[in-house]
Chains A and B, each alone.
Chain A
């Protein structure tokens, strides 16, 4: 039976939300391939998270407990996982596509001779094995890929692709995973909040978010005017911040803020997943983009195709009129 391993991420005794998604994905994968999934947890004194994981329908929850695993470093994680994978030989290793797993999974693949399928959003049985689907071109296209050759397949699953509540409950025994000589390869110095005094966009009722399509810091005025008539907060996609057109505390997305307004304008934003995860709680999304195939239109309620430099002032005008 091809075993499936699920690598869980946790913090302060709790499973990461995306670890639950990885469990759901791993269970589905095991259903297709015929094996039983086991979860793997690395840490030091991570008992509570292990108990949480044990409430799922899993073959086992394997806990690697070691002082060098107290804080995440790729050296210690790969040092613990690579020999374990070589020894147990799981056919598939599933992990959540988080900033932590993406940091070490490629090295784990390199160290174990595994295939790496980053950011899987779906899988299905195909000719000679599973076929995985993953976004390419920043989500504008999707690729279907198959895996050739021998050896394990490591995959990370994208946020939201396998809903966490899809995980089957059960009762799994907790066992310990033998760890050999391992060492951290980073000397952790600390953690900091980006930007210090943040503008808090999380409570905003209306957000006017602007993307690279705006074209420059000098083109921001009409956007601000639109936000003003709407009583909205201005947010942005990452490139706008990286280019210095707006300050970092306006960034929405996986490495920025999470918003859930009742009305969200995405203006000149293509709709990459890292942006979408920051605004998926928005009620009504309006997308303005010159490219009718931009992925943002897939999540918007209303779409306006055209040049934002024409549409935004027209919209400001129309709202002014409507408000009398």
Chain B
């Protein structure tokens, strides 16, 4: 099977965030970026299926120049080629605009399956994969915790997470878009050989026109959402912050839990 995997590069969840001067996004200078968490699982799932079916994996990402690092990493893990929607016109879109661009990029790749993550750790729309499916006219499933390609490769058995510890199991006709949830598998690490090989693998950089898209349909211009401001939430009362070194804080806490909160 030929499988497209959408990977997004996002700030490392461990990173300290600062709001950019214009108040519209986070300051990206010195910010460490990584492949979005659930996308790592989507990529692993795709690589496993490709290995079993003698297929190949194409990784697709929309984002600025820095995204090359994420694509190289995916190529080092075993994807055979990459598509990078790097032009300015693609950037700053909401889920509908980004999904439209990604769908157009995927449509030209003649794939049998598309895998995405379930949710991006930065804007967290939980929507882009479903929008891609809508454009391709394929079925989709969000929050997938189990994926089995069935005999013949025309359908898949899908396990989807529901709230409160239940799963729903169903069959989907392929081609389809599967939005993978973190935890579905155990992502591999890149080998030195893989990292070397990745340097020679191609990264295609189509323009909007190459994909048959007008600038007005994509990116910030093609989006109906416009961010007015990002800010740290007003956390209300918030916690009483204890002071001192570890031992002092620990002693203070125990005393408060006993005397004040009376829970110990």
- Chain A residues in contact with chain B, CB under 8 A? 73-75, 98-100, 102-107, 109-111, 115-119, 126, 131, 135-149, 151, 153, 185-195, 198, 206, 212, 230, 238-239, 241-242, 244, 248, 254-258, 262-263, 270, 283-287, 291-293, 295, 297-307, 310-311, 314-315, 317-319, 321-322
A139 to B234, CA, bound (A): 11
Query: Of A186, A255, A303, which contacts B242 at CB under 8 A?
Result: A303
Q: Is B233 an interface residue (CB 8 A)?
A: yes
Q: Is B107 an interface residue (CB 8 A)?
A: no
Q: Is B74 an interface residue (CB 8 A)?
A: no
Name the CB-closest residue of A to B220.
A148
Contact A295 B235 (CB under 8 A): yes
A96, chain B: closest CB distance, angstroms: 11
A13 to B20, CA, bound (A): 48
B228, chain A: closest CB distance, angstroms: 5
Given the contacts A99-B163, A137-B17, A146-B228, A301 and B240 also touching, CB distance less than 8 Å: yes
Given the contacts A110-B96, A239-B182, A311-B246, A118 and B127 also touching, CB distance less than 8 Å: yes
Contact B230 A143 (CB under 8 A): yes
Contact A103 B26 (CB under 8 A): no
Q: Is B186 an interface residue (CB 8 A)?
A: yes
Contact A142 B142 (CB under 8 A): no
Number of interface residues of B (CB under 8 A): 83
A320, chain B: closest CB distance, angstroms: 10
B166 cross-chain contacts in A, Cβ below 8 A: 191-194
Chain B binding surface SS class: mixed
B94 cross-chain contacts in A, Cβ below 8 A: 115-116
9-residue interface stretch from B47-55, B77-85, B168-176, B204-212: B168-176
Q: Is B257 an interface residue (CB 8 A)?
A: yes
Given A142-B232, A186-B158, A193-B166, 13 new contacts (CB under 8 A): A99-B162, A102-B126, A110-B131, A137-B124, A141-B232, A141-B233, A143-B230, A185-B173, A194-B161, A284-B263, A304-B242, A306-B249, A307-B246
A248 to B258, CA, bound (A): 32
A131 cross-chain contacts in B, Cβ below 8 A: 228
Given the contacts A140-B17, A141-B230, A117 and B225 also touching, CB distance less than 8 Å: yes
Contact A99 B167 (CB under 8 A): no
Given the contacts A116-B96, A147-B225, A238-B182, A140 and B232 also touching, CB distance less than 8 Å: yes
Contact A255 B239 (CB under 8 A): no
B178, chain A: closest CB distance, angstroms: 12
Given the contacts A105-B127, A141-B230, A270 and B13 also touching, CB distance less than 8 Å: yes
For chain B, residues 146 to 205, give those with C-beta under 8 angstroms from any C-beta of chain A: 157-173, 181-183, 186
B26 cross-chain contacts in A, Cβ below 8 A: 137, 141
Given the contacts A103-B141, A107-B130, A302-B253, A189 and B170 also touching, CB distance less than 8 Å: yes
Contact A314 B247 (CB under 8 A): yes
Q: Which of A74, A103, A189, A230 has the most CB of B within 10 A?
A: A103
B95, chain A: closest CB distance, angstroms: 6
Query: Of A153, A186, A263, A310, which contacts B172 at CB under 8 A?
Result: A186
Task: Provide a sorted-by-A list of 14 A–B residue pairs whose CB atoms are within 8 angstroms.
Answer: A116-B94, A137-B17, A143-B227, A146-B228, A187-B171, A191-B168, A192-B167, A255-B163, A284-B261, A291-B16, A293-B17, A302-B256, A304-B249, A311-B246
B210, chain A: closest CB distance, angstroms: 22
Query: Of B238, B247, B264, which contacts A297 at CB under 8 A?
Result: B238
Given the contacts A116-B96, A314-B249, A319 and B254 also touching, CB distance less than 8 Å: yes
Q: Which of B19, B143, B173, B247 has the most CB of A within 10 A?
A: B247
B238 cross-chain contacts in A, Cβ below 8 A: 297-298, 300, 303
Contact B250 A318 (CB under 8 A): yes
Contact B246 A314 (CB under 8 A): yes
Q: Is B22 an interface residue (CB 8 A)?
A: no
Name the CB-closest residue of A to B236.
A298
Contact B165 A145 (CB under 8 A): no
B165 cross-chain contacts in A, Cβ below 8 A: 193-195, 198, 255-257
Contact A190 B95 (CB under 8 A): no
Q: Which of B121, B163, B256 has the most CB of A within 10 A?
A: B163
Mask, B97-135, CB within 8 Å of A = 1, is 001000000000000000000000111111110110111
A171, chain B: closest CB distance, angstroms: 31
A234 to B134, CA, bound (A): 42
A295 cross-chain contacts in B, Cβ below 8 A: 233, 235
Closest 3 CB pairs of A and B: A298-B235, A303-B239, A110-B134
Q: Which of B127, B181, B238 has the most CB of A within 10 A?
A: B127
A143, chain B: closest CB distance, angstroms: 5
A149, chain B: closest CB distance, angstroms: 5
Name the CB-closest residue of B to A320.
B254
Given the contacts A138-B121, A311-B250, A314-B246, A149 and B231 also touching, CB distance less than 8 Å: no
Contact A189 B241 (CB under 8 A): no
